[in-house]
């Protein structure tokens, strides 16, 4: 029998993170290759309903629940104090997690604690002549590395958003059983959790999106972009650096930690095409990319590409659209 797979799910206030389903689908795909059993693991306090939700929908060996007051809020120490001894005691072969801000915080420490290999941010699994190989983007998505885990130690894998689909889940049901959480020791005290201001702009229903990336160069360069959006009747979206630099408000961010969009037309201006951006817009019907670097990964997805300086091309586009409308 092959190595068993544990998928550690992420949730907040009783709601599963959507990437948890994708991680379970990845775990199932992995188990179908290794021949092991796959279980989902839920940590928290009062998380029975979350476990039941998974168990009622998914074909798994079991859903393991570590329920303890000390796990009411996520802390890396709390999670590690439960997961590390359990992974060792139960000789888990593969620990699969969604690649999120939370797991970036504790997955490497878990791997270190249990002496596991770690393969972060995987986007594909291959099982061919080279054995079981993971693909993961490197150098800001410009290249993909193929990685094989060697030796007989366990491995921790984090799964990039959108790489597996919740639609790929093998449906069925699972038993729910306890995972010992009596040793849970948080390593920090959460004094409070404040919600960020809610989303104001819903980009998910916009038919046309003009999206800008770091290549736009600054907030003072947005004038022609706004003219283009107006000429097309489009919403403006952005990659994360634009938001992190405060060039546009956070509710304009598209990607794995922003909104997911599927417009008829998506213009990507000065966006390189990192995987975290692509997962948020790859459902667009037609993608037009403008980038001065002909090797930018965005061109791999674009239906139409213009290699050039967006500051020259955008005013030309505005002019052409206005002339066409006259
Ligand atoms: C956990 C995590 C979550 C993330 N979530 C998101 C997310 O939700 N959304 C997101 O977008 N990113 C996200 N990122 C960041 C992501 O990895 C990339 O860093 C980001 O998408 C890059 O943004 P960019 O393409 O605008 O910038 P860059 O990668 O710096 O690319 C800028 C591009 O502009 C081009 N350029 C420069 N000047 C010009 C010009 N004058 N004319 C034309 N082209 C020009 C360059 O050739 C380059 O290709 C996340 C990262 C992590 C680790």
**Per-residue pLDDT reduced to its tens digit, 65-91:** 999 999 999 999 999 999 999 999 999
Q: Do 104 and 152 lie in a common domain? A: yes
Q: Looking at the domain assignment, is residue 219 inside a domain?
A: yes
Token readout for 209 is 């999106």
Q: Do 30 and 124 lie in a common domain? A: yes
Q: Looking at the domain assignment, is residue 117 inside a domain?
A: yes
Q: Average model confidence (pLDDT) for the chain?
A: 93
Q: Do 44 and 160 lie in a common domain? A: yes
Q: Confirm if 159 and 137 have CB atoms less than 8 A apart.
A: no
What is the residue whose two structure tokens read 């702009």? 201
Question: Predicted confidence band at 143 (pLDDT cuts at 50, 70, 90)?
Answer: confident
Q: What is the CATH number of the domain that holds 262?
A: 3.40.50.1220
Distance CA 274, CA 300 (A): 11
Q: Do 166 and 52 lie in a common domain? A: yes
Q: What is the pLDDT of residues 116-141, one digit of tens each?
A: 999 999 999 999 898 899 999 887 67
Percentage of the chain modeled with pLDDT above 90: 79
Q: In total, how many domains does the chain have? A: 2
CA 101 to ligand 1: nearest atom: 1
Question: Predicted confidence band at 314 (pLDDT cuts at 50, 70, 90)?
Answer: very high
Average of pLDDT values for 248-263?
91
User: Is residue 2 predicted with pLDDT exceeding 90?
Assistant: no
Q: Confirm if 130 and 146 have CB atoms less than 8 A apart.
A: yes
Helices 223-232 and 310-325 cross at an angle (nearest 10°) of: 30
Last residue of a domain, one of 143, 178, 213: 178
Task: Give, in order, the Cα–Cα distances in Å from 247 to each of 98, 239, 275, 314.
Answer: 29, 11, 21, 18
User: Is residue 1 predicted with pLDDT exceeding 60?
Assistant: no
CA 141 to ligand 1: nearest atom: 17
User: Is residue 6 predicted with pLDDT exceeding 80?
Assistant: yes
CA 238 to ligand 1: nearest atom: 11
Q: Do 146 and 31 lie in a common domain? A: yes
Q: Confirm if 84 and 114 have CB atoms less than 8 A apart.
A: yes
pLDDT for the residue 198: 59
Q: Looking at the domain assignment, is residue 264 inside a domain?
A: yes
Q: What is the pLDDT of residues 16-44, one digit of tens each?
A: 998 899 999 999 999 999 999 999 999 99
Residue whose CA is closest, atom 41 of ligand 1? 309
Last residue of a domain, one of 124, 145, 178: 178
Q: What is the CATH number of the domain that holds 72?
A: 3.40.50.620
Last residue of a domain, one of 178, 195, 223: 178
Q: Looking at the domain assignment, is residue 234 inside a domain?
A: yes
Distance 259 CA to ligand 1 centre (A): 15
User: Is residue 199 predicted with pLDDT exceeding 70?
Assistant: no
CA 298 to ligand 1: nearest atom: 49
Q: Do 156 and 57 lie in a common domain? A: yes
Distance 133 CA to ligand 1 centre (A): 27
Within 8 A by CB and 6+ apart from 221, the residues are 311
Residue whose CA is closest, atom 30 of ligand 1? 214
**Strand pairing of 131-138 and 143-147?**
antiparallel
Distance 213 CA to ligand 1 centre (A): 6
Q: Looking at the domain assignment, is residue 187 inside a domain?
A: no
CA 257 to ligand 1: nearest atom: 8
Q: Looking at the domain assignment, is residue 188 inside a domain?
A: no
The binding-site residues of ligand 1, defined as CB within 6 angstroms of any ligand atom, are 101, 140, 213-215, 239-241, 253-258, 270-272, 274, 276-277, 280, 290-293, 296, 309-311
Q: Do 219 and 153 lie in a common domain? A: no
Angle at 39 between CA 186 and CA 84, to 5 degrees: 30
Question: Predicted confidence band at 253 (pLDDT cuts at 50, 70, 90)?
Answer: very high
Distance 298 CA to ligand 1 centre (A): 10
Question: Predicted confidence band at 197 (pLDDT cuts at 50, 70, 90)?
Answer: low
Host domain of residue 20 = 5-178
For 125, phi then psi, to 5°, come to: -125, 135
Q: Do 128 and 266 lie in a common domain? A: no
Mean pLDDT is lowest, of 89-98, 163-172, 209-218, 219-228, for 163-172
pLDDT for the residue 210: 98
Distance CA 100, CA 121 (A): 9
Please measure the distance between the N-terminal and C-terminal CA atoms of the chain and give it in whole angstroms. Answer: 70
Q: Do 16 and 119 lie in a common domain? A: yes
Task: Give, in order, the Cα–Cα distances in Å from 279 to each of 135, 256, 261, 313.
Answer: 16, 6, 9, 26
Task: Give, in order, the Cα–Cα distances in Å from 40 to each of 25, 220, 273.
Answer: 11, 48, 32
Q: Do 145 and 209 lie in a common domain? A: no
Q: Looking at the domain assignment, is residue 291 inside a domain?
A: yes
Q: Report, in angstroms and rounded to the nearest whole number, the Rg of the chain calculated over CA atoms.
A: 22
Q: Do 151 and 236 lie in a common domain? A: no
Residues paired with residue 289 on neighbouring β-strands, in sequence order: 268, 305
Q: Do 28 and 145 lie in a common domain? A: yes
Q: Looking at the domain assignment, is residue 193 inside a domain?
A: no
């Amino acid at each position: 029998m092959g190595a068993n797979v544990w998928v550690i799910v992420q949730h907040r206030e009783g709601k599963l993170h959507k990437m948890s389903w994708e991680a379970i689908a990845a775990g199932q795909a992995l188990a179908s290759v290794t021949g092991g059993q796959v279980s989902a693991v839920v940590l928290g306090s009062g998380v029975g309903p979350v476990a039941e939700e998974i168990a009622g929908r998914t074909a798994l060996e079991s859903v393991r629940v570590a329920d303890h007051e000390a796990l009411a809020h996520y802390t890396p120490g709390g999670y590690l104090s439960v997961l590390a001894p359990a992974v060792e005691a139960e000789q888990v072969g593969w620990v699969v997690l969604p690649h999120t801000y939370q797991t970036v915080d504790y997955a490497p420490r878990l791997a270190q604690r249990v002496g596991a290999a770690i393969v972060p941010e995987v986007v594909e699994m291959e099982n061919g002549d080279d054995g079981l190989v993971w693909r993961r983007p490197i150098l800001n998505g410009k290249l993909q590395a193929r990685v094989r885990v060697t030796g007989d130690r366990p491995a921790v894998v984090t799964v990039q958003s959108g790489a597996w689909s919740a639609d790929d889940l093998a449906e069925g049901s699972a038993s729910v059983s306890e995972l010992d959480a009596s040793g849970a020791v948080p390593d920090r005290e959460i004094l409070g959790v404040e919600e960020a201001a809610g989303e104001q702009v819903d980009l998910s229903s916009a038919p046309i999106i003009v999206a800008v990336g770091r290549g736009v160069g600054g907030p003072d360069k947005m004038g022609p972009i706004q003219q283009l959006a107006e000429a097309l009747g489009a919403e403006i979206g952005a990659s994360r650096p634009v938001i992190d630099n405060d060039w546009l408000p956070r509710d304009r961010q598209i990607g794995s930690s922003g909104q997911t969009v599927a417009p008829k037309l998506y213009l990507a201006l000065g966006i390189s095409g990192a995987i975290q951006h692509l997962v948020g817009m790859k459902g667009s019907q037609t993608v037009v990319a403008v980038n001065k670097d002909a090797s930018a990964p965005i061109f791999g997805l674009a239906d139409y590409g213009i290699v050039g300086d967006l500051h020259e091309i955008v005013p030309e586009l505005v002019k052409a659209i206005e002339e066409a409308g006259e």
